[in-house]
Amino acid sequence: MSTRDNIISLSEVRWKYHGCQHKRLRVDEQLATVECRDCGEKLNPVHVIARMAKEESLWRRRLDALRAVRQKLEKRQRCKCDHCGRMTRIHVR
């Protein structure tokens, strides 16, 4: 047996989570509890808030990146006319 037989490639490892993802929540503001509407598990409200904050941050970064791409494309929609020398808009469909 060679030493290469003991090495596990990361491509061989499969990380699968088979449990409920707790995507649909039921919040009781009076009792300060959070429950998964799919599996009924009681969830830690602080954990739920932290997860929502992380997801919101991710969406905010994606939105900012898309806005930057949009601005870059808007700048590229103008070119200098060979005939008159003025900047003219390129019509993109």
Please report which helix (H) or strand (E) contains residue 13, including its range: none
- What gap in Å lies between CA 38 and CA 47, rounded to an integer? 18
Determine the pLDDT at residue 76: 76
The residue ranges of every structural domain in the chain are: 19-89
pLDDT in tens, 74-91: 777 777 888 888 887 777
Decide if 14 contacts 35 (C-beta within 8 A).
Answer: no
pTM: 0.56
Residue 35 has pLDDT above 90, yes or no: yes
Residue 63: pLDDT band (50, 70, 90) is very high
Tell me the mean pLDDT in the region 30-58. Answer: 92
